Amino acid sequence: MIEANAVKALRDRTGAGMMDCKKALVESGGDMEKATDWLRQKGLAQAAKKAGRAADQGIVDSYIHLGGRIGVLIEVNCETDFVARNEEFTSLVHDLAMQVAAANPKYISREDIPAEVLEKEREIEKGRALQEGKPQAVVDRIVAGRLDKFCESICLLEQPFIRDQDTKVEDLIKQKIARTGENIKVARFARFELGSR
């Protein structure tokens, strides 16, 4: 028997619906940590299903870093104006603007990186690995790993979230999709830094 206060505690912790919280506690034998993981997995799976839905509402937000040396404009879309006005959504958009200011991504996702940029980086890393004397048999694996790190550093969705380094930005957005029930996507951003072109 799952106690009502346990369901309420899980709901307060995760923001999930009451019935989902109860089911998560039943599935996990009352273990709060396992129930939280179960809800996260369920939410991420639901978020993946929603990713294909049209998101043509949303907001444009700005963030100016202290001292006015860095500024960001970002457009984040959702499915309805109701969610666009929701405090959780607007907070997410502001956090994403701060992420762009702090981490300086160049692209939204890996798919946005031009092929010539990836190819140039691949050649640089291959030359570096060979110069380090790595055996030819492992050079391709080393290059692939370094390319992944390169993409993580320049793609917004692959970066660790500035407020929680254990969470990638993409996973943060998926969590919000699970909580709002709507598709959310970053449409575009621009970052301005004083004195740089």
For each successive 10 residues of the chain (197 residues), what is the average pLDDT?
Answer: 80 69 85 82 58 74 91 94 91 97 96 94 90 86 92 95 94 90 92 86
What is the residue whose two structure tokens read 């709002």?
180
Q: Are 184 and 77 in contact (CB under 8 A)?
A: yes
**Taking the domain 57-108+155-193, which CATH number applies?**
3.30.479.20
Q: Where in the chain is the domain with CATH 1.10.8.10?
A: 4-50
CATH of range 4-50; options 2.60.120.260, 1.10.8.10, 3.50.30.50, 3.60.10.10: 1.10.8.10
pLDDT recorded at residue 43: 66
What pLDDT, on a 0 to 100 scale, did the predictor assign at position 15? 63
pLDDT at 154: 96
β-bridge pairing 164-168 and 70-78: unpaired
**Cβ-Cβ contacts under 8 Å for 79 (sequence gap 6 or more):** 53, 54, 55, 56, 57, 182, 183
On whether the CB atoms of residues 45 and 69 are closer than 8 A, the answer is no
Q: For residue 159, what pLDDT is reported?
A: 96
Q: What's residue 45's pLDDT? A: 47
* Residue 127 CB partners (closer than 8 Å, separation 6+): none
Q: What is the CATH T-level fold of the domain 114-153, as seen in this structure?
A: GTP Cyclohydrolase I; Chain A, domain 1 (1.10.286)
Residues of the chain with CATH 3.30.479.20: 57-108+155-193
Residues of the chain with CATH 1.10.286.20: 114-153
The pTM is what? 0.70
The reported pLDDT for the residue numbered 52 is: 56
